[in-house]
Amino acid sequence: MTAPPKKGTTETPSELLAKTDIDAILEGRHWDPFAVLGPHAEGDRYVTRCFLPGAVEVTAETLSGRQIGTLTQVHPAGIFAGEVSLRKLQPVRYRARNEGGEWVVTDPYSFGPVLGPMDDYYIREGSHLRLFDKMGAHPMTLEGVDGFHFAVWAPNARRVSVVGNFNEWDGRRNPMRLRRDTGIWEIFLPGIAEGHAYKFEIVGAQGEVLPLKADPFARRSELRPANASMTTGPIEQVWEDEAHLAHWAAADARRQPISIYEVHAGSWQRHDDGSFLTWDELADRLIPYCVDMGFTHIEFLPISEYPFDPSWGYQTTGLYSPTARFGEPEGFARFVNGCHKVGIGVILDWVPAHFPTDAHGLGHFDGTALYEHADPRQGFHPDWNTAIYNFGRAEVLSYLINNALYWAEKFHLDGLRVDAVASMLYLDYSRKHGEWVPNEYGGNENLEAVRFLQSMNAHVYAGHPGILTIAEESTSWPKVSAPVHDGGLGFGFKWNMGFMHDTLQYLSREPVHRKFHHNDMTFGLLYAFTENFVLPLSHDEVVHGKGSLIAKMTGDDWQKFANLRAYYGFMWGYPGKKLLFMGQEFAQWQEWSEARSLDWNLLEYPLHEGMRRLVRDLNGTYRRKAALHARDCEGDGFEWLIADDRDNSVFAWLRKAPGEKPIAVVTNFTPVYRENYAVPLPAEGRWREILNTDAEIYGGSGKGNGGAVEARRQATGRIAATITLPPLATLMLELDA
């Protein structure tokens, strides 16, 4: 029942606001609130209406404070309406009163739209490259009023409201304006400041109220287990990385030394009580450590917001939001800036392949399969129980491509390692016959995903020429790291999963059996230059019962350490960029767990400290010696010296680069100490032993060549050096010209 008109007015409630509108507002099913609420011109007069729960009396004012009318309560739940003295439509505010006092509310329904027709055009076309500045929640000043603009894509919804702690999570209070051409809902809420939790309340096409949804474009989130989005301003960071960015923008990354330290930010180190380090604390500890260790890049497992710690971030619910686990987004920006100041790049593990089905996430966002495919044969991932993005939808592609651009622009990221690319490329990935839908030509290639990856890489490299994109792709898909204009996917690099699998399989065998599996170590050179490869010893190899790298090695403890040292020397001398997961640089025994810190106490023991020193020296040698990195991706930088000595399990090759002294890499993968072993070399003279993994400082036996060997021309005309091969060791020899 409505209240009677206030004394002095001749209008009835139905003349001020129809009962159908009143009921729709109170029941949260008014699909076009801007048509009713706020000021409107009606003939030669102006009328305004508002919904202010708890108010008993309301007067209307201009933004300058001039009173323009007393409103009539047309429903005791807090609906008011009345004629106001205005000369033109303009923003208004309301002074509301009840027994508890007085408060002022600026009417969001008195403001026009913020997005414009060009936004609509580019969004519809799928070519909008600044969505992260338009969608989500952004602070702004509109017509002299400070507040936040909210925008969200939900084309099949009947109503979308912003709800939060500023409106008691009441979806009836701030329903949004629908832009029908794009399916985007928007509203400007005056008076909203930074630090408010919010979500979207969405009513589906059939009138059903969906679970509250976090903002897909949120730039900050609550700390789990809470999962609301947070209002936040732009990143305020004074960047001091011009020299770093300029270097990589001008460089050919294929010919640069790249040695990546893969890090899970939540378990590299922790406080004594088990709590996470903040970004600033990580900067104080991790950056100096990586500088000392000689790594060129830090690659983080996904740090975009995710609900479940054991997912390691690979099931993300907030692609635009750095997780709240380590502090505010500005903290991550400070971390990146600190890295760049000392020449270290930052790579983010990025997950555009799939997303979790948590109720507050993207799944059935507006009551329909919006971000995902409706057909589970295309839209559901059986391995991870996740939803697969619909790469054939322009809005979804724009969402993902903009996200890649967002991290590069706002956080100055140096690279994106794209997770699970193989699962994107094949329609039948992990599916049996009949469980997948062929493409238009009857094949199993996901042509829409191919176009997405090509477009993403093209846009990222065009806008940020110094960036690296790296594909985790485990099949023989051709031209992953070839340019798009050459028919490739456009990535800068590809993980060499074959190298990782074959070499670890070889090293898990007793040395006496290795001669029967010699090809495990030589086969990779048949394809080593078909792509721009990164050699990964990643987190995937030290979890789920696989054991740590040191635990995979055979033999007693001394042999395990010697095997791993020889392997690292082999890998750092092998063509390709390097990646090592945290903890493996000091041979952590335990399998990695995201729930605890690395076992840093192991560095008190000589064998573990020796391993750390070796990795540091390998990085330093790799970076200083252009022969070891300048032709990592090109066949003319590699030459076999010994490829077929399977009986002794010895491998030797030459690394070279134009104008640089060549370096010979020789590995003995048996525990047999060999003297007077002949190694062919390309030039006579003294070859310095620049690295020996068996050196005592690394925990080895100290066998070697006294610092140098002499290469001489033999009677056959061949040039060779007679050298000592330490047991289970790798040597690097450089021509001392």
Q: Which residues are identified as catalytic? A: 419, 472
- Angle (CA) 27-28-31 rounded to 5° is 125
DSSP string of 453-492, one letter each residue: HHHHHHHHHHH-TT-EEEE---S--TTTTS-GGGTS---S
295 close to 346: Cβ distance less than 8 angstroms: no
**Among 15, 131, 6, 125, CA closest to 58:** 6
Report the residue count for the chain.
737
Distance in Å from the first CA to the final CA of the chain:
100
* CB neighbourhood size of 70 (10 A): 17
Q: To which residue do tokens 């987004």 refer?
A: 329
* Structure token pair of residue 298: 């830090």
Residue 229's DSSP bridge partners are: 198, 221
Using CA atoms, how far apart are residues 562 and 582, in angstroms rounded to an integer?
Answer: 19
Using CA atoms, how far apart are residues 92 and 39, in angstroms rounded to an integer?
Answer: 8
**Among 693, 685, 673, 699, CA closest to 735:** 685
Residue 426's DSSP bridge partners are: 445
SS3 breakdown of the chain: % helix, strand, coil, rounded to 5? 30, 25, 45
DSSP string of 5-71, one letter each residue: PPTT----HHHHS-HHHHHHHHTT--S-GGGTSEEEEETTEEEEEEE-TT-SEEEEEETT--EEEEP
Q: Kind of pairing, strands 345-350 and 184-190?
A: unpaired
Q: List CB contacts of 674: < 8 A, sequence separation 6 or more.
A: 648, 650, 668, 724, 725
* CB neighbourhood size of 126 (10 A): 15
DSSP string of 520-551, one letter each residue: HHHGGGGTTTSS-EEEEE-GGGGSTT---HHH
DSSP string of 329-392, one letter each residue: HHHHHHHHHHHHHTT-EEEEEE--SEE---TTSSTTTTSS-SSB-SSHHHHEETTTTEEEB-TT
415 close to 467: Cβ distance less than 8 angstroms: yes
